[in-house]
């Protein structure tokens, strides 16, 4: 069975899920990546089933990253390992889309070539490319679509998010929408003065409700993530 929740989760009543996986190669020293060649899937599975390092804390999802309008060799290698780890554990796979681009390439690779069920894939940062046609095409696959909270880095497109969500809800994809904050820019006040995660509930959620209604916002904030991040561990 699952380990007991960490103190912060017990105190707040909020479920916390940590990720295994790898970001784009620019974020790592070459020796770190070299040490993972041929064993990335093994490491992902171990962090999902045994724990991360010696912490005893097990990951609950696999996080990977695409590139700008495409996938390089590193991204394909990482996604191959992520798919292998998914098939071994049932854990969902979340994907960083660079500036919201590349969703078709990711879905063709993860779901088409590697056989990850679309409902186990979460595409992130879609609001950074506010293209309703691209959003509906991605949603048609059956995957989850994650929209970020505001940040200085993406202020130019943040205001388009309520309309993007409304478009998906009206197209029948309201059960696939997720809302979050990109914590590297939005939550760390010391980094860029972003409004942080509380802003999502205090300001963003009421604004979203004006576009899609309270019931749809509840689905986005409660019901959808409960399904997206659930896993029947094998």
Answer whether residue 14 is part of any domain.
Answer: yes
Name residues of the chain where pLDDT drops below 70.
1-5, 183-194, 233-234
Q: Nearest-CA neighbor of 135 among 181, 86, 109, 168?
A: 168
Give the count of domains, the chain.
1
Q: Nearest-CA neighbor of 127 among 172, 167, 94, 87?
A: 167
Sort 230 into a burial class: Cβ within 10 Å, 0-12 / 13-18 / 19+.
exposed
Answer whether residue 1 is part of any domain.
Answer: no
CA distances from 27 to 23, 31, 35, 103, 216 (A): 7, 12, 15, 21, 36
Strand stretches in the chain, DSSP E: 19-21, 61-65, 93-96, 121-124, 144-148, 177-180
What are the pLDDT digits (tens) for 79-124? Answer: 999 999 999 999 999 999 999 999 999 999 999 999 999 999 999 9
Domain membership of residue 58 as a residue range: 7-228
Q: Is the pTM of this model over 0.85?
A: yes
Answer whether residue 79 is part of any domain.
Answer: yes
pLDDT value at residue 4 = 65
Sort 86 into a burial class: Cβ within 10 Å, 0-12 / 13-18 / 19+.
buried
Answer whether residue 157 is part of any domain.
Answer: yes
Contacts with 139 (C-beta within 8 Å, 6 or more apart), sequence order: 145, 168, 171, 173, 176
pLDDT value at residue 189 = 46
Tokens 């576009």: give the residue.
211
Structure tokens at 217: 């916002």
Q: What is the mean pLDDT of the chain?
A: 91
Count Cα atoms within 13 angstroms, Cβ side, for 173.
24
pLDDT value at residue 1 = 56
Q: Which residues lie across from 203 on neighbouring strands?
A: none
Angle among Cα 106, 112, 117 to the nearest 5 degrees reads: 90
DSSP secondary structure letters along 50-81 = T-STTS-PPP-EEEEE-BTTB--HHHHHHHHH
Residue 204: CATH number of its domain: 3.20.20.140
The DSSP element (H or E) to which 34 belongs, if any, is helix 30-36
Answer whether residue 196 is part of any domain.
Answer: yes
Answer whether residue 233 is part of any domain.
Answer: no
d(CA 109, CA 112): 5
Answer whether residue 2 is part of any domain.
Answer: no
């Amino acid at each position: 069975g699952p380990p007991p929740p960490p103190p912060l989760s017990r105190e707040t009543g909020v479920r916390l899920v940590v990720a295994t996986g790898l970001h784009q190669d620019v974020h790592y020293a070459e020796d770190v990546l070299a040490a993972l060649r041929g064993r990335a899937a093994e490491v992902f599975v171990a962090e999902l089933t045994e724990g991360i390092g010696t912490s005893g804390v097990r990951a609950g999802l696999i996080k990977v990253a695409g590139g700008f309008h495409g996938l390089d060799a590193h991204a394909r290698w990482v996604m191959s390992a992520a798919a292998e780890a998914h098939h071994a554990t049932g854990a969902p796979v979340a994907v960083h889309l660079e500036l919201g681009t590349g969703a078709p390439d990711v879905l063709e690779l993860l779901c088409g070539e590697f056989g990850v069920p679309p409902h186990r894939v979460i595409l992130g940062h879609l609001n950074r490319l506010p293209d309703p046609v691209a959003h509906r095409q991605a949603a048609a696959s059956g995957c989850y679509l994650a929209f970020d909270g505001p940040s200085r880095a993406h202020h130019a497109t943040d205001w388009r998010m309520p309309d993007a969500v409304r478009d998906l809800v009206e197209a029948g994809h309201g059960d696939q929408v997720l809302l979050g904050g990109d914590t590297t820019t939005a939550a760390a006040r010391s980094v860029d003065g972003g409004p942080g995660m509380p802003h999502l509930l205090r300001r963003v959620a009421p604004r979203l409700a004006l576009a899609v209604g309270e019931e749809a916002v509840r689905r986005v904030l409660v019901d959808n993530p409960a399904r997206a991040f659930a896993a029947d561990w094998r």
